[in-house]
Amino acid sequence: MFDLSGRRALVTGSSTGIGYALAKGLAGAGAEVILNGRSEARLAEAVSRLRAEGASVHAASFDVTSANEVEAAIAQIEREIGAIDILVNNAGMQRRAPLDQFSHEQWQELMKTNVDSVFLVGQAVARHMIDRQRGKIINICSVQSELGRPNIAAYTASKGAVKMLTKGMAIDWGQHGIQVNGLGPGYFKTELTEALVKDETFSSWLIGRTPSRRWGDVEDLVGAAVFLASNASNFVNGHILYVDGGVTATL
């Protein structure tokens, strides 16, 4: 039921961090994976690491915020590599600043990366999935799809939008045999959160705030991703699965 053998997965923003961990996890469940990123050097390094572990993996370097690049890249993948059975919309970014000091340029950059990319890549891939009448789309949300924190109002707005876009995709595309769900990480140890992990005051607050009493490790996300990508979730649609150690369950 959880076997992904014979399926092909595209994971955006997957040369490092959570995206790389998810791609590795899907490959471990049997999927052929396509890594995406804008840096060809980092992408090549990630592909090399996964191939060394025996994974079937390809690279697709394109800008997920560019409609033209997305359309061309998805068409090329479908034509030259094969059908995309699973899409993980993982590409994203964070910008921290008090909202009254958050520039319009920062707002636009964050929204393009976190929201526009989900729409653009999701739509381009879904058009092929609709033709085949099957597919799995996993949009990476966040606990900030539900909760706020100081100085990240724009990020919270973007991840709230991804949550609702996920539901909208499920409603429009469910009739075509496509399941669209969200995966909502809590606080995980990654390159992007390294400064927070080292901040003793914040880290102590977070661990005390989290029922599981620890930071998340990226491997903690793999089981949920495999579930949402596999036949095990064939009647799960429009759902946001939070993997957060219980943060969203407590005040």
- CATH number, position 158: 3.40.50.720
Residue 2 lies in a domain: no
Count of the separate structural domains present in the chain: 1
Domain residues for the domain of 216 are 8-249
Looking at residue 251, its pLDDT comes to: 83
Residue 16 lies in a domain: yes
Catalytic residue among 20, 155, 187, 242: 155
Q: What percent of the chain has pLDDT over 70?
A: 100
Other C-beta atoms within 10 Å of 81: how many?
14
Residue 195 lies in a domain: yes
Stretches where the chain sits below pLDDT 50 are: none
Half-sphere exposure of 179 (CA within 13 A, CB side): 19
Note whether 31 and 229 are within 8 A (CB).
yes
Residue 1 lies in a domain: no
- Active site (annotated) includes residue 187: no
Looking at residue 69, its pLDDT comes to: 98
Residue 3 lies in a domain: no
d(CA 20, CA 38): 14
Looking at residue 231, its pLDDT comes to: 98
Looking at residue 192, its pLDDT comes to: 81
Best CA proximity match to 124, nearest among 227, 30, 10, 13:
10
Note whether 154 and 110 are within 8 A (CB).
yes
d(CA 228, CA 213): 26
pLDDT, one tens digit per residue, over 186-239 is 999 998 889 899 999 999 999 999 999 999 999 999 999 999 999 999 999 999
Looking at residue 22, its pLDDT comes to: 98
d(CA 39, CA 73): 15
Looking at residue 56, its pLDDT comes to: 98
Residue 210 lies in a domain: yes
d(CA 241, CA 251): 19
Residue 17 lies in a domain: yes
Residue 132 lies in a domain: yes
